[in-house]
Amino acid sequence: MENEEWLVKKKIVLNILDQKLTKEELRCLCGSLIARIREAGLELKCKRCKRFHVIPLSLEPSS
């Protein structure tokens, strides 16, 4: 069972490495936008509703 989990994790990492990564955005091999870097932080796109969510890159609390 543990060996199967390791293989799944390895496949996920290999898939991530196969994705098209540019300086500011990460796209799937199909061309779909996955994430991009903005001044406010890492912007992720929901595949279901197409909304964008920003994850701050700094650990400082916002005022």
Compute the average pLDDT of residues 2-6.
69
Instruction: Tell whether 10 is covered by a domain.
Output: yes
Other C-beta atoms lying within 10 Å of the C-beta of residue 61:
6
Number of domains making up the chain: 1
Instruction: Tell whether 51 is covered by a domain.
Output: yes
Structure tokens at 41: 């932080």
| Stretch (H or E) spanning 17 | helix 2-18
Instruction: Tell whether 62 is covered by a domain.
Output: no
Tens of pLDDT, residue by residue over 8-63, are: 666 655 555 555 555 677 777 788 888 888 888 889 888 888 888 998 877 665 55
Instruction: Tell whether 60 is covered by a domain.
Output: no
Instruction: Answer for the pair 43, 33: CB distance below 8 angstroms, yes or no.
Output: no
Determine the residue type at 45.
K
Instruction: Tell whether 25 is covered by a domain.
Output: yes
Q: Look up the domain containing 48 and give its range.
A: 2-55
β-partners of residue 45 are: 52
